Homo-oligomer: A and B are copies of this chain.
Amino acid sequence: MFENPRRQKQLHKFVQKLGLPSTTPVDWSLLNLALTHPSISHTDNYEQLEFVGDSVVRLIAAELLLETYPQEPVGEFAAIRSILVSDRVLAELAETYGIEPYLLIGTNATGNPVGRQSWLADAFEAVLGALYLSTHNMDLIRPWLDRALKIKAAEVRRDPARLNYKDALQEWTQRKYKILPEYRVKENKLFKSSVNRTNLSVQTERFLAEVWLKDRCLGKGYGRSKKASEQAAAKEAFLTIRDV
């Protein structure tokens, strides 16, 4: 790595963009790996660091939520955290900190817009993994990441529609009961019967989902797609279970 002064310079620049001083004790070869997509090398890439970084961001989010909203019930934390650590939010953060120009990635991979959110999030997690492993604490991360995560957490709390209720419910049932909720989706009978008769709003809701935990139905929901009906069922379940 140190034989490539151009890459070394790039990585220094990236660390400065995070707001860290140039004397920061970064393990540069780890940071180099964190910014190397598997399309460049099957063996020397960000995958292992991403595995570490995934836990790093979960821990930081937990700590930060506890510090910022000490009165909030734990179910709420779990729901908010599931969003903060989602690919969507992590990819947004990767964009904010302008990771992309520093990431070594094959053109095959960049050409595919579907995977973009995924590799941005993965590389971001890997960077957190590399910075954590550089010092074995959060000193190189929290100084810049806390502010961004706090803003995201406040956004989620202001606008619960941002919540992915399926993720939130899963987070909750796994933590609390150690099992996953089960979705059962059917065609909505009301939809079928009304299609040829009236313009009832139920017309558009083609699917009916139920979400079950063991032998208990926790919620029901209608939607135009299977996914939408599951989200609606998860929302009902989550809002009920949270208030228990």
Contacts and interface: CB of A to CB of B under 8 A. Distances in A.
A167 to B, nearest CB: 10
**Interface size range on A against B:** 20 to 34
A157 interface: no
Interface in A133-149: 133, 136-138
A55 B59 contact: yes
A74 B54 contact: no
Contacts of A66: 48, 51-52
Nearest to A66: B48
A125 to B, nearest CB: 10
A74 B56 contact: no
A186 interface: no
B59 A59 contact: yes
A63 interface: yes
A58 B175 CA distance: 14
Contacts of A132: 59
Interface string A147-179: 000000000000000000000001000010010
A170 B181 CA distance: 13
Contacts of A55: 55, 58-59, 61-62
Contacts of A63: 52, 133
Interface in A45-92: 47-48, 50-52, 54-56, 58-59, 61-63, 66, 74, 77-78, 87
A178 B136 CA distance: 27
A118 interface: yes
Contacts of A228: none
26 contacts: A47-B74, A48-B66, A48-B74, A48-B77, A50-B74, A51-B62, A51-B74, A51-B78, A52-B63, A52-B66, A54-B175, A55-B55, A55-B61, A55-B62, A56-B59, A58-B58, A58-B59, A59-B59, A59-B132, A63-B133, A87-B178, A136-B137, A136-B138, A137-B138, A170-B180, A180-B180
Given A48-B74, A52-B63, 16 more contacts: A47-B74, A48-B77, A50-B74, A51-B66, A51-B78, A51-B175, A52-B62, A54-B62, A55-B55, A55-B58, A55-B59, A56-B59, A58-B59, A59-B132, A87-B178, A180-B180
Lowest 8 CB-CB distances: which A-B pairs, in order?
A: A55-B59, A137-B137, A55-B58, A52-B62, A47-B74, A55-B62, A51-B74, A59-B59
